[in-house]
Amino acid sequence: MLYVLDHVDKILIMIDPLRVLEWCEDNPYRKYGNMIIHFYKKYIAAMNVNSPNWNQNIYKWSFTHENGIVEDDEKG
């Protein structure tokens, strides 16, 4: 799993090579909801250590899941 944070446009992008299950294709939050909350909590804690005056609400940032990621096979 790779997390990409865009501080300018306030977007969290998750790149996951695993296939999104059919029941949650229309709403990726079904698969990633707990991961997003855990990531946000850790990120807020890290930013408060690094920049104590930082007070953005990243729960309001946009979220996208990149789909169409192709996983390499053994042949490369």
pLDDT tens by residue, 10-42? 888 888 777 777 887 777 677 778 888 888 888
**Would you say 42 and 58 are in contact if contact means Cβ atoms under 8 Å apart?**
no
**Would you say 10 and 62 are in contact if contact means Cβ atoms under 8 Å apart?**
yes
- pTM (two decimals): 0.62
Is the pLDDT at 76 greater than 60, yes or no? Answer: no
Q: Which of 34-37's residues contact partners 24+ apart within 8 Å by CB, and which partners?
A: 35/1, 36/12, 36/63
Is the pLDDT at 70 greater than 80, yes or no? Answer: no
Helices (H), 3-75: 29-50
